[in-house]
Amino acid sequence: MFDKSTYVARRRTLCEKMAKTAPEGKRGIALFIGNVEAPAQYKDNCYKWRQDSSWLYYFGLDDPRYAAVIDFDSGEQTIFADDVEIGDIIWMGPQPTVQSKAESVGIYSSAPYKAVDAVVAKAISQGRRIHFLPPSRYYNTIKLSMLTRCTYDEVNIVAEGDGHHASEELVKAVISMRLVKEQCEIDAIDDACALGYEMHSIGRDSIVPGIIEQEIVGKMEAVTISKGWGVSFPTILTQHGETLHNHLHDKIIEPGKLMVIDAGAENNLHYASDFTRTYPTSGKFTQKQRDVYQIVCDCNNHAFSLVKPGISYRDVHLATAKRMLEGLSALGLVHGDLDEMVAQGIAGLFQPHGLGHNMGMDVHDMEDLGENLVGYDPDQKRSDQLGLGSLRMARKLVPGNVITDEPGIYFIPALIETWKSEGKGKDFVNFSRLESYYDFGGIRLEDDVLVTPNGARRTGPKRLPITPDEVEAAMAK
Amino acid sequence: MFDKSTYVARRRTLCEKMAKTAPEGKRGIALFIGNVEAPAQYKDNCYKWRQDSSWLYYFGLDDPRYAAVIDFDSGEQTIFADDVEIGDIIWMGPQPTVQSKAESVGIYSSAPYKAVDAVVAKAISQGRRIHFLPPSRYYNTIKLSMLTRCTYDEVNIVAEGDGHHASEELVKAVISMRLVKEQCEIDAIDDACALGYEMHSIGRDSIVPGIIEQEIVGKMEAVTISKGWGVSFPTILTQHGETLHNHLHDKIIEPGKLMVIDAGAENNLHYASDFTRTYPTSGKFTQKQRDVYQIVCDCNNHAFSLVKPGISYRDVHLATAKRMLEGLSALGLVHGDLDEMVAQGIAGLFQPHGLGHNMGMDVHDMEDLGENLVGYDPDQKRSDQLGLGSLRMARKLVPGNVITDEPGIYFIPALIETWKSEGKGKDFVNFSRLESYYDFGGIRLEDDVLVTPNGARRTGPKRLPITPDEVEAAMAK
């Protein structure tokens, strides 16, 4: 947890932002529902406890079954949770009181968890606005639906003004704050990246043909559990990198393949890292692998070189797409005018995902608040092109943004065949030449980047080996 | 996954059992809702995928967003799930069709996920009984509530006959089957116990004063991830064993303390192990520690010696409580007639939990179906005494039951002070003598036990070192 003053200041800023959304007396209340434990098998056997990120941001308290209300008219702030009883002490040990916990984050009013029901009911009866964030978990869906008398679907719809839905005003205020990391958050991300570095180094050093992928995953995740909260997302470790979110680890490692490792650590303060590297399972790239790898590596470096305040990440994505098409042209896989190909979205056939996303307490930061509200400026419209359409962060960059830089090239037979049969990209793509890449797999290279006042820096103490030579040297050790 | 014939046979048995609950034409349908992914941070960043255990038992298919209906009148069985589209293939890779997956477990009718809504709606409109199990997760609560038109609370209430609630007839039929393990399940539990043995051995060997508890947890969990699904429940590893469910691992290991490690592995077939050992952090017990430890060890062995078909586990719990009080008498911590103390529940002051629970795919097997229906025979009533009242498995044992044997002695200052101030146990407990144990902590020793036709055997390839001498010898290596 950070200093008490951090949370007090954040809530003060939030109140100031919300004060601008309506005249005094019409601002209403914000209702925050912290997480409860998430059952894995049954209600008392749960996944590892993880608090809601927006809750952590404003209230810091890392315990289940908490709620809070901020009254934007009176300024009053209240924490709702239950003190433990003797029966609980046997199972959970002696605990500080809810009141003392509330005070530790600068809130001096507390009440039992159940009491939040009456507070919300009263505000509804007075016709006051109830602001809440869309729920990130199913329990919160149920709780919000019961408290605010919305349907399950309604609580997930973010819109402005009164009514049965999540509050766009509150969502926008929260996003505007969490998008720009404070120094204490940057330190926490650097720390998570140090864990991520160690995690990836162990992963790379464990690649040996003949073992099962799962064995490497266990060694990598041990680092995150021993020194942090755990993984910041389910580890991707696969010889089928062309499948973007492949969470199976049941394959035997074969020589001569490419292995994509996309993995991150969450530290004990609940900040994420998110790195991807791609390794030749035999320790050396074939020439064919090296040629494609070098393009992805160039794209990663090119994107990083462009990052600075004022440029939109959409433009960085497009500039990187152009660089990628230039490289693919040199290999004879596409041909034609580069700008024309960028405009037609040809890069999406090879990289059907965006260049990167915001990162913070969530690895896709604030995705529960709505991808477009988080990642797009009001004047930006999301593309419907494959690839660019998946870009989660398009905004004009400002100092304090933390983003991922993760270009990739994949040869996805089903996708290529679909384009070919539909005649899509037929003026640019050398489909016949692509057939020899159907068993190639995929390559992705990802760093995490902080936008600084004058440019950018990669987060974490060191950059993982990334050039083909660096990778081969690291694997030879 | 097991053989197709395993799932076919299980569903056939289930249908036969349900046929006895109502005349033909009045039996209704069973609605099974498999799990969906469980969000950790937001809807697309999920905890590690885990299917619902009862779903796995009857349908085997280990993928999210599946449902099934069994018609107990017509015998018809249908799987509901969605085939992947090209957009999904990019992210998830090519997938077998739902129809082919259904056929792999012996079901030849499949339909899209959404189609289950109409099937249930039609059955309701025809006044047919809708049997379902109480939901183990919040998503299933929402889905069942929407499909069956019950409230959130109602879907969790298990009762017989028609109406808005979970089906006691179905729950009882499922429990009667899952309580008695098949040979393939016993093999899977032995396998999970082999993982648990390795996990615990690494934990024991990593205990060194000066490091943080969390570091050991990472090493232990690495085994479960590298070779199995992961932990079968959140690891308890604490120098405050007197707090029964302590999931914090943030303490530095101090010399001279007792460390309780209660941890288990779930193998790739999703069966659990659950072992507890208690270690002297310095490698050697003090005499005071050894004296209490020996009592717990004797209780564990005594319980095991009594396990055989025909005895109720409630009686084993009580016999073990008597043995514990005998040992505590010898230490001068209690005094008086042993049977009288057992009857008065004096052992609950030291062991405020039950001797054990059923174990299978869930570490507390089927706890989502209701603790009393799972663990108590129809003629058994649950006690309200501390300790005995927490006993999760009281039933008369039959071959194929898999249970834990986990006595413990804890010195919980808040509990002791409560009893003292209320005059509870005043004729038996030497409260003044107990004060010197307020910083003692707790000891628990747990094995997993299979009831065999003639007695019992501990599951897994080897028993973890358990006598004080064995433990000290293992730690000296």
Supply the pLDDT for residue B474.
Answer: 98
In which band, very low, low, confident or very high, does the pLDDT at A278 lie, cut at 50, 70 and 90? very high
In which band, very low, low, confident or very high, does the pLDDT at B446 lie, cut at 50, 70 and 90? very high
Share the mean pLDDT of chain A: 96
- Check CB contact under 8 Å for B225 and A224: no
Longest dimension (CA), chain A: 75
Asked if B292 contacts B331 with a C-beta cutoff of 8 angstroms, the reply is: yes
Q: Check if B86 contacts A (Cβ < 8 Å).
A: yes
Chain A partners within 8 Å of B367 (Cβ): 41-45
Chain A partners within 8 Å of B46 (Cβ): 234
**Percentage of residues in chain B having pLDDT higher than 90:** 92
Supply the pLDDT for residue A333.
Answer: 98
Domains and CATH numbers, chain A: 4-178 (3.40.350.10), 183-476 (3.90.230.10)
Nearest C-alpha of chain B: how many angstroms from A26?
31
- Check CB contact under 8 Å for A136 and B412: no
Please state, in angstroms and rounded to a whole number, the distance separating the CA atoms of residues A453 and A309.
Answer: 7
- Check CB contact under 8 Å for B218 and A240: no
Share the mean pLDDT of chain B: 96
Chain B partners within 8 Å of A216 (Cβ): 226
- Check CB contact under 8 Å for A136 and B41: yes
Looking at the partner chain, which of A138, A222, A227 has a beta carbon nearest the beta carbon of B138?
A138
Q: Which residue of B has its CA nearest to A222?
A: B218
Supply the pLDDT for residue A287.
Answer: 98
Supply the pLDDT for residue A265.
Answer: 98
Nearest C-alpha of chain B: how many angstroms from A14?
21
CA A291 from chain centre, in angstroms, equals: 30
DSSP letter (8 states) at residue A358: B
Summarize pLDDT for A65-105 with one digit per residue, the tens. Answer: 999 999 999 999 999 999 988 777 777 777 899 999 999 99
Nearest 5 degrees, angle CA B372-CA B378-CA B383? 50
Please state, in angstroms and rounded to a whole number, the distance separating the CA atoms of residues A55 and A66.
Answer: 9
Average pLDDT of the residues in A19-38: 96
- Check CB contact under 8 Å for B47 and A43: no
- Is A162's pLDDT higher than 90? no
Name the pairing type of β-strands A166-167 and A158-159.
Answer: parallel
Residues in a beta bridge with B403: B358, B449
Summarize pLDDT for A384-428 with one digit per residue, the tens. Answer: 999 999 999 999 999 999 999 999 999 999 999 999 999 999 999
Q: Enter the pTM of the model.
A: 0.95
Tell me which amino acid residue A79 is.
I
ipTM of the complex model: 0.93
Supply the pLDDT for residue B18.
Answer: 97
- Is B43's pLDDT higher than 80? yes
**A232 phi and psi, to 5 degrees?**
-85, -10
Supply the pLDDT for residue B85.
Answer: 80
Summarize pLDDT for B370-429 with one digit per residue, the tens. Answer: 999 999 999 999 999 999 999 999 999 999 999 999 999 999 999 999 999 999 999 999
Please state, in angstroms and rounded to a whole number, the distance separating the CA atoms of residues A170 and A173.
Answer: 5
- Is B294's pLDDT higher than 90? yes
Structure tokens at B471: 């433990």
Q: Which residue of A has its CA nearest to B94?
A: A414
Chain A partners within 8 Å of B49 (Cβ): 234, 247
Q: Which residue of B has its CA nearest to A243?
A: B93
**A296 phi and psi, to 5 degrees?**
-65, -40
- Residues near A251 by Cβ (< 8 Å), separated by ≥ 6? A212, A213, A238, A239, A240
Residues in a beta bridge with B334: B429
Nearest C-alpha of chain A: how many angstroms from B380?
23
- Residues near A57 by Cβ (< 8 Å), separated by ≥ 6? A10, A174, A177, A178, A361
Long-range pairs of A452-458 with CB within 8 A, sequence gap ≥ 24: A452/A399, A453/A309, A453/A399, A454/A308, A454/A309, A455/A307, A455/A308, A456/A304, A456/A307, A456/A308, A458/A304
Q: Check if B364 contacts A (Cβ < 8 Å).
A: yes
Q: How many CB pairs under 8 A join A and B?
A: 186
CA A323 from chain centre, in angstroms, equals: 25
- Check CB contact under 8 Å for B223 and A226: no
Chain A partners within 8 Å of B138 (Cβ): 39, 137-139, 141-142
Supply the pLDDT for residue A326.
Answer: 98
For chain B, positions 119-178, list CB contacts with chain A under 8 A.
136-139, 141-142, 146, 152
Chain B partners within 8 Å of A418 (Cβ): 86
- Is A29's pLDDT higher than 90? yes
Looking at the partner chain, which of B90, B139, B226 has a beta carbon nearest the beta carbon of A218?
B226
Chain B partners within 8 Å of A245 (Cβ): 91-92
Please state, in angstroms and rounded to a whole number, the distance separating the CA atoms of residues A217 and B3.
Answer: 28
Summarize pLDDT for B66-121 with one digit per residue, the tens. Answer: 999 999 999 999 999 999 887 777 777 778 999 999 999 999 999 999 999 999 99
Supply the pLDDT for residue A474.
Answer: 98
Nearest C-alpha of chain A: how many angstroms from B369?
9
Chain B partners within 8 Å of A44 (Cβ): 364, 367
Q: Which residue of A has its CA nearest to B90?
A: A243
- Check CB contact under 8 Å for B38 and A46: no
Structure tokens at A194: 């140090």
- Is A247's pLDDT higher than 80? no
Nearest C-alpha of chain B: how many angstroms from A474?
23
The lowest-confidence range among A320-334, A376-390, B91-105, B313-327 is: B91-105
Supply the pLDDT for residue B468.
Answer: 98
The helix, strand and coil proportions of chain A, stated in percent and rounded to the nearest 5, come to: 40, 15, 45
Best of A202, A215, A226, A418 to disrupt the B interface (most B CBs within 10 Å) is A226
The lowest-confidence range among A137-151, A243-257, A285-299, B168-182 is: A243-257
- Residues near B184 by Cβ (< 8 Å), separated by ≥ 6? B2, B3, B6
Structure tokens at B340: 């009288």
Asked if B465 contacts B474 with a C-beta cutoff of 8 angstroms, the reply is: yes
Supply the pLDDT for residue A12.
Answer: 98
